[in-house]
Amino acid sequence: MIDQITIEEENKDIVRRYKTLLRSCNSEITREDKKLIRKAFNLAVEAHKDVRRKSGEPYIFHPIAVAQIAAKDLGLDATSIACALLHDVVEDTHYTLKDIEKIFSPKIRKIIDGLTKISGFSEQDISAQAENFRKMLLTLSDDVRVILIKLADRLHNMQTLDSMPRQKQQKIGSETLYIYAPLAHRLGLYSVKTELEDLGLKFTEPEIYRDIARQLNETKNARVQYIQRFTKPLKASLKDHHLLFSIKGRPKSIYSIRKKMKNQGVSFDEVYDKFAIRIILDSELRNEKSDCWKTYSLITDYYRPNPDRLRDWISTPKANGYESLHTTVMGPGGKWVEVQVRTERMDEIAEKGYAAHWKYKQAGKHKDGNLEDWINQIRELLKNPESNAIDFLEEFKLNLFSKEIFVFTPNGDLRTLPKGASALDFAFDIHTQLGATCLGCKVNGKIVPLSHKLKSGDQVEVISSQKQKPKKSWLNFVVTARAKNKIKSSLKDEKKRIAEDGKEILQRKLKHIKLPFDDNTINKLVNYFKYKSSLDLFYDVGTGVFNNMMIKDFARNRNNWYQYLKNKIYKKTTKNLVVHEEPKFDTLVFGANEEKLNYAYSKCCSPIPGDDVFGFTTIKDGIKIHRQDCPNALRLQSNFAYRILETKWIDSTNNQSVAILHIKGIDSVGLINEVTQILSNNLKINIQSINISSSDGVFDGIITVLVLDKKNLTIVIENIKKVKGITSISRKFKSS
Ligand code: MN
């Protein structure tokens, strides 16, 4: 139990914190502003009373701390500070958005709404986070304040993460490194970014973090001494030249040292730039540039610069507003030392980002207008990252408008794809097999073709069919190397496979006309029909493009009349002896794709149409058909399983015909998938097209299928009817 004295002390503490917050606000804060902040504070205190954080502190400490970061570190306006104070009110208490609008304003309601939408990260699983992340990105264009307050919220949560269980620390920590630190970087909030990164590392890799922190501490004295030795002549020289300055020797962040160790595969001792010297000049705005370069020149009087490592972000500031001059010079003892030269104004921008930028740039204008300007600037910045500093962009993973897009699986998992990626790229990104059998995709609930270009925030579901195969035309719209390679290699495999079949067919065909199957004959055939290679010839035989007429033509033109006629006679006399010498392609089909291949009945069991049979690929005689109860069946199937072909009898008098089905139902996730599964996997029905439109959770679709007969169609209809969510199915005469 918390006794009365503690409560009183706590209340005093709350007031103390509130006063500190007010002091952190911009000096230009008006009485109106103060009134607004006070009102927000009072409501927050009342709403969160009796609630405590995991650490045992009163809950209100948290919103005050977030408001403090918003005011002090980010330099935000009174509206933002009020929103920071209120940021958890709608989420955690009985107050509604409507209440907020009534008590405050529609604008504040909107910001709180945005904050509420993207809160709850830590409470949900990874997939829900991704969904929230999407919402967060989508709110970017709404009001950047939402993102800034969210960053402040996250920073404070990270600062107080110690009291959370280990597992949560891990999760929140990695989320911070993945989402929030890059976001802070993008907005030019360097100090926030650095703190988020260090805290992120602390909670994701605690041992490594502690190790580096300890080593930094152990080497501190040596470092301070070195910095003194390094800066001593510089200080004297700068003074001689009447420059006003301060010099800091700053250790690099633990996170950046960790990154260097990892990227370069080196130990702590081997990271040479564990600190940077920063020279901050107190310069008049008009002298800034020349003062910085003068300083650079003075540094190089003492230390030799590495010309490859000169960075001039003064002439060309980074996209987020960062201005500074960086050089790396050879210091005492043969050590490379990074020196950053900038003015106080530049330093503040570097630390606080555009918040400070705006302060300098727009000084004099009406204050509220200034913040709007600043927000617009950030918005522009987010829209036009190409303006400069490409290197900076590459680091930014989350940019909606750069080279990457972010899309979601039906489970809410985040996938990164290059800009311009199609639905098919997505399918290949998930899994090669899924890409290879992709029929179409459902993007945000709507069926789209494979070539559909995806946008950030899209939720994509792949519709696949085992009957689908990679097509050459697919190469026209995939952009990822992965998809391209997989399609190409699959096309190549397919060609090889067909060519192999073709080779066997050709072998048989040649045998019938008594020509040897050897290199000589093959070469002659290749030359005669102007093929590029024997592979192309075999492929055409396999696909049936190269037919009996052509081979006869070849035989005839070889002037081998005798041979040819002899073959004719042989063929005629033996026709009735050799079963299926002129194979009937339309009686048996093979494999999952029901391909029509050349085959013959085996003599050992003499099957007849309708028998339960299987195909066996022989080495010399192509595909032989055996009965399932053939004496050899068991031996063949157990020893040569890979040569067994699945077979199916098809009625040659009854070709497949088109049937158009109109289905209606409740639009549930996976429903279309289920329907296509049933059609192609269970019933082995060929789908010709699917056209689905859905609105308000109801969908309406036309599926065109190929069926054998009425009976077949009835089975199809009966099976689709059983799918949960389907409300009606009927046959149509025309697809439109
Ligand atoms: Mn919060």
**91 CA → ligand 1 middle, Å:** 9
Contact criterion met (CB below 8 Å) for 725 and 665? yes
Question: So what's the pLDDT on residue 126?
Answer: 45
162 is catalytic: no
Q: In angstroms, rounded to a whole number, what is the distance separating the alpha carbons of residues 108 and 117?
A: 14
**Regions of the chain with pLDDT less than 70:** 1-5, 27, 117-143, 186, 319-320, 353-404, 412, 414, 557-587, 592-594, 638-639, 651-656, 668-669, 695-697, 734-736
Provide long-range contacts, Cβ within 8 A and 24+ apart, for 548-556. 548/509, 551/509, 551/510, 551/513, 552/513, 554/524, 554/525, 554/528, 554/529, 555/513, 555/515
Question: So what's the pLDDT on residue 712?
Answer: 82
Question: So what's the pLDDT on residue 665?
Answer: 80
State the total domains in the chain. Answer: 6
Using the structure block, give the residue that is written with the tokens 């009945």. 601
* AA identity, residue 149: I
Beta pairing, strands 438-443 & 446-448: antiparallel
One domain, residues 561 and 594? no
Q: Report CA 91 to chain centroid distance, whole Å.
A: 29
One domain, residues 116 and 148? yes
**92 CA → ligand 1 middle, Å:** 10
One domain, residues 118 and 266? no
- Examine residue 484 and state whether it is found in any structural domain, yes or no: no
3-state secondary structure of 584: coil
**86 CA → ligand 1 middle, Å:** 9
- CB count within 10 Å of CB 319 equals 20
**284 CA → ligand 1 middle, Å:** 41
> Looking at residue 695, which CATH number applies to its domain?
3.30.70.260
**Domain final residue pick, 307, 330, 362:** 362
**145 CA → ligand 1 middle, Å:** 15
- Examine residue 56 and state whether it is found in any structural domain, yes or no: yes
One domain, residues 105 and 199? yes
* AA identity, residue 91: E
- Examine residue 384 and state whether it is found in any structural domain, yes or no: no
One domain, residues 32 and 174? yes
**106 CA → ligand 1 middle, Å:** 21
Q: 481-512 vs 548-557: helix axis angle to the nearest 10?
A: 60
**Domain final residue pick, 611, 633, 649:** 649
Range of the domain at 598: 588-649
One domain, residues 73 and 96? yes
Question: So what's the pLDDT on residue 309?
Answer: 81
- Examine residue 387 and state whether it is found in any structural domain, yes or no: no
**153 CA → ligand 1 middle, Å:** 5
For the chain, how long is the longest CA-to-CA vector? 120
**29 CA → ligand 1 middle, Å:** 24
**62 CA → ligand 1 middle, Å:** 7
- Examine residue 26 and state whether it is found in any structural domain, yes or no: yes
Name the residue among 256, 254, 275, 152 with its Cα closest to residue 212: 254
One domain, residues 50 and 181? yes
One domain, residues 42 and 172? yes
284 is catalytic: no
One domain, residues 29 and 153? yes
**Domain final residue pick, 184, 204, 224:** 204
Task: Read off the tokens for 14.
Answer: 């709350």
One domain, residues 199 and 219? no
One domain, residues 499 and 429? no
**74 CA → ligand 1 middle, Å:** 16
Distances (CA, A) of 707 to 46, 591, 731: 69, 18, 13
**90 CA → ligand 1 middle, Å:** 11
Catalytic residue among 13, 57, 92, 99: 92
- Examine residue 256 and state whether it is found in any structural domain, yes or no: yes
- CB count within 10 Å of CB 699 equals 23
Please give the full DSSP string across 393-460, using - where no structure is assigned. HHH-TT-TTSSEEEEE-TT--EEEEETT-BHHHHHHHH-HHHHHTEEEEEETTEEE-TTPBP-TT-BE
- Examine residue 339 and state whether it is found in any structural domain, yes or no: yes
Contact criterion met (CB below 8 Å) for 622 and 606? no
Catalytic residue among 13, 57, 91, 536: 91
One domain, residues 624 and 680? no
> Looking at residue 163, which CATH number applies to its domain?
1.10.3210.10
- Examine residue 368 and state whether it is found in any structural domain, yes or no: no
Q: In angstroms, rounded to a whole number, what is the distance separating the alpha carbons of residues 650 and 588?
A: 6
